[in-house]
Structure 1
């Protein structure tokens, strides 16, 4: 099990499985969606919001 800090609320996020790069996980405390930027070392960032492309 790996524990990393949530970039939003700074609480510990426990990863029970090996994370994959670009995977989206959720912080159990603040419910923020987090993106795995790196797996060695594990680095999380707030996931980008989905944007509408308006058919472009």
Structure 2
């Protein structure tokens, strides 16, 4: 079985990020060039954006 991948430019460093055809909305990927965490924010066409920082809610 062959998995098809496409490349999308990292919004931080422009390094190509490999994206498989089985990617899901809101999935987090890591850029191999700058190590930024990227989120899939749209499908068809696939759009990458910086992933939001994880914050503690302190029970609020």
Number of residue-to-residue matches in the alignment: 56
Structure 1 position 36, deviation (Å)? 0.2
RMSD (Å), alpha carbons: 1.1
Higher relative contact order (CA 8 A, sep 6+): 1
2:36 aligned with 1:32, yes or no? yes
Question: TM-score scaled by structure 1?
Answer: 0.89
Q: Which runs of 5+ in 2 are unaligned?
A: none
Question: TM-score scaled by structure 2?
Answer: 0.84
Larger C-alpha radius of gyration, 1 or 2? 2
- Large movers: runs of 4+ above 3 Å: none
Q: Which runs of 5+ in 1 are unaligned?
A: none
